[in-house]
A and B are shown apart, each in its own frame.
Chain A
Amino acid sequence: MTSSLLFNVTTLAYMASMVVFFAFLASKNKAIGLTGSLLAYAGFAVQTLAIALRWKESYDMGYGHAPLSNLYESVVFFSWTIILIYMFIELKYKYRIVGAFVVPFALLGMAWAQLGMHSGIEPLVPALQSNWLLYHVVTCFLGYAAFAVACGISIMYLVKAKSEESGGGAAGGLMGMFPPIRVLDDLNYRAIMIGFPLLTLGIITGAAWANYAWGTYWSWDPKETWSLIVWFVYAAFLHARFTRGWVGKRAAWLSIIGFAATIFCYLGVNLFLSGLHSYGSSKM
């Protein structure tokens, strides 16, 4: 059994979970909803095993590093953290339907990694040979994942708000499945309350690492700057709660813009801009 096989199983489980969640949306059958959740949990269990196995495989190859060192590994880990945060929110607040809007993000990551990326285990270049790699990547991605969940919830919020405005509210229809608008607003805030401290820790561990490796904790490198942009957007979101005219829809939009900035920070910077975070390029 290899980690690669298990990652394929994970991808299939998330895909099945998403399809079942969509069926749940259409049918409103509670048993189907439970199946959707269980499939996501099963996928998560297999993925956890696969990540552990890949870690072991790297030791068997004589490299011995956590599987967080290149784009493939980071996308896989991102999917894992999205499901982790989703499970936390679902178990704590009991709104299963959120899965229909969150699992697709995890599936997208896994599918892209499995189909479109080179998945070989490579040794670490000198710049990445540090324990800070683990702390930095784990905190950043847990934060990103919480923002992904918040984005899914914000989309639900806007859909629900729109249908209520057009008078299609009441208990009937698809919208009856959605949590009340006030609850969605609260869940959005709670997801960002998880993400924001983690992002802050991610930026600080990154700065500490940069200082230890290069002697500069902040150099306005595009990746650093984009992480600060994301931080500004969510800081604005947190203050929006106390500002007249900024609650509700505008806050939901801030959350979506924040996640778009997060994705640009994670992928866009590497694809379109140059800088220090080249994911395992041979930079020193």
Chain B
Amino acid sequence: MTTDQRSFLNSLWDFFCSLKLTMSLLITLAATSIIGTIIPQGTPPQEYLQQISPVKFKLYQALGFFDMYHSWWFILLLYLLTVNLVACSIKRLPHIWKTITQPVTVLGSGLEKSLPNVVSFKAGGEPEALQAKVTALLKAEFAEPVATENDGAHHLFAQKTPWCRLSVYFVHLSVIVIFIGTMIGSLFGYKAFANIMEGESVAKVVTRSEKEIDLGFSVLCEKFSASFYDSGAPKEFRSVLTVLENGKPVPGYEHRAIIVNDPLTYKGITFYQSSYGNAGEYRFLVTDLDGKNAVPVTVPATGSATLPDGSSMHVLETTPDIAPFAPGLSGPAANIEIHGAGGASERVVVYANHPELNIEHAKQHGKGPVIHFKGEEKRMYTGLQVAKDPGVWIVWLGCLLMVAGIFTAFFLSHRRIWVRIQHGTVTMGGNASKNQAAFQLFFDRLADKLKTECSGEKR
């Protein structure tokens, strides 16, 4: 390797190790993430084109703004962040590791000058006797010290929670663990959706990318029900499901009720209550004004039907009894919307028990037709979110590591105390990796006790 190459690699390495890069990446990620919260993500192109000009559309599309969290440049930023935190860790870890595993146990003058807390006092007596006293005090008040003799001086060193210096690296590691978990999830898992009619079962589900997936078993929806509070707000959506293997119910997975916030998991695949609907049909009888040419018309709940005169209708809502809404009337009624062949549309309520009102309405509005409501067959279906994510536990492991790491990094501190006994002088110094103010209080109190001990005044 030439020196040019070497210096290039060195500066590349320094670039990836720098905290300035970390700052730029975090701020860039924060700023660019805003784009995807303003531009709707993953909407069909036609809808964007109604809002913005074709030029803008092309530009945004080229920049990946319509799926920006999966765009090449956003992923690149995340990779850079990963490389940055790995490089930072590799650069700093050996030094930290040495601090933890091979602590400086001798209080030299250079170290003494670098310490924020130092006391020094004269003490009489044999150095060995003093050392024993200091050792006992440190053991009782702080941690068991290590003794070293060097150049005729007696050194003692004690420390607490040295390993908490590693917690920052666990936080960095946790980010990588979470990324690994999400990658496993996207490679080996899927998110899909299934609509199941009451009384029917499905063995295949369709993913978001419209791929069909064979479950390997089937799921039967026995019943779906929705309940509401008096205010009309939804109270509960409940599906009763049974898992079938080769057409036979699986013991323990029969008649299982699932509601929002309480899903069903079978063989690593989880079914979540997500939506519902009515796929039943409404029956009407359509006649002329004079009651002739009666034609039964069936309107599906999810669509519309064509009437004999060429117009079409669909149902907005129905009620089994109109009485609470219209005093004096009774029986089933339907609120329908009719789209005339000319493009005009109107909304009208038609009744089952009041044919005269249906005729009167038709007369008021011209030549008909007359529409009578005849009843409905409800067929509810449940909409289930289906998910398989083998990486999710790795993500939770990463989250746990992150929280534990952040708490230890913020609230634990590596505290060290050195004592040197030399020429009848006792010198104590100490420092802490966090919360200096609290350590200073502790250190001052310990120093007072040390002076009392070494002056030999026993209580």
Pick the residue among A125, A204, A243, A273 that contacts B234 (CB under 8 A).
Answer: A125
**Interface pair B387/A212, CB less than 8 Å apart:** no
**Interface pair A211/B29, CB less than 8 Å apart:** no
Decide yes or no: A122 and B396 within 8 Å by CB, A232-B30, A261-B30 being known contacts: no
> A-side binding surface: helix, strand, loop or mixed?
helix
B440 within 8 A of A: no
A127 within 8 A of B: yes
**Interface pair A200/B402, CB less than 8 Å apart:** yes
Which chain B residue shows the least CB distance to A209?
B261
* A contacts with B, residue count (CB < 8 A): 46
B341 within 8 A of A: no
**Interface pair B386/A215, CB less than 8 Å apart:** yes
The stretch of B20-28, B112-120, B140-148, B279-287 that contacts the partner chain: B20-28
**Interface pair A239/B23, CB less than 8 Å apart:** yes
**Chain B interface: which size bin?**
35 or more
Interface residues of A in 215-235 (CB under 8 A from B): 215-218, 220, 222, 225-226, 228-229, 232-233, 235
**Interface pair B406/A243, CB less than 8 Å apart:** no
Interface residues of A in 117-151 (CB under 8 A from B): 122-123, 125-127, 129-130, 132
Residues 406-417 of chain B, each 1 if its beta carbon lies under 8 Å from chain A, else 0: 110011000000
**Shortest Cβ distance from residue B236 to the other chain A in the assembled complex, whole angstroms:** 6
Which chain A residue shows the least CB distance to B265?
A215
**Interface pair B392/A236, CB less than 8 Å apart:** no
**Shortest Cβ distance from residue A117 to the other chain B in the assembled complex, whole angstroms:** 17
**Interface pair B263/A232, CB less than 8 Å apart:** no
CB neighbours (8 Å) of A215 from chain B are 191, 263, 270, 272, 385-387, 389
CB neighbours (8 Å) of B236 from chain A are 126, 129
**Interface pair A193/B259, CB less than 8 Å apart:** no
**Interface pair B27/A232, CB less than 8 Å apart:** yes
A196 within 8 A of B: yes
B215 within 8 A of A: no
Bound state CA distance, A269 and B272, in angstroms? Answer: 26
**Shortest Cβ distance from residue A32 to the other chain B in the assembled complex, whole angstroms:** 28
Which chain A residue shows the least CB distance to B437?
A186
A175 within 8 A of B: no
Bound state CA distance, A208 and B392, in angstroms? Answer: 10
CB neighbours (8 Å) of B23 from chain A are 236, 239-240, 243, 246
A201 within 8 A of B: yes
CB neighbours (8 Å) of B30 from chain A are 229, 232-233, 236, 261
B217 within 8 A of A: no
Q: Quick one: which of B37, B40, B395, B396 has the most chain A CB within 10 A?
A: B37
**Shortest Cβ distance from residue B406 to the other chain A in the assembled complex, whole angstroms:** 5
A168 within 8 A of B: no
B104 within 8 A of A: no
Pick the residue among B37, B261, B389, B396 that contacts A130 (CB under 8 A).
Answer: B261
Decide yes or no: A212 and B36 within 8 Å by CB, A232-B30, A239-B26 being known contacts: no
CB neighbours (8 Å) of A2 from chain B are none
CB neighbours (8 Å) of A216 from chain B are 191, 385, 387
B41 within 8 A of A: yes
**Shortest Cβ distance from residue A264 to the other chain B in the assembled complex, whole angstroms:** 9
**Shortest Cβ distance from residue A185 to the other chain B in the assembled complex, whole angstroms:** 13
29 contacts between A and B (CB under 8 A): A123-B233, A125-B234, A126-B237, A126-B261, A127-B260, A127-B261, A130-B261, A197-B403, A200-B406, A204-B402, A211-B389, A214-B272, A214-B274, A214-B385, A215-B191, A215-B385, A216-B385, A218-B182, A220-B41, A225-B36, A226-B37, A229-B33, A229-B34, A236-B22, A239-B23, A245-B20, A284-B237, A284-B274, A284-B275
Residues of B bordering A, CB below 8 Å: 19-20, 22-23, 26-27, 29-30, 33-34, 36-38, 40-41, 69, 182, 191, 229, 231, 233-237, 259-261, 263, 270, 272-275, 385-387, 389, 392, 395-396, 399, 402-403, 406-407, 410-411
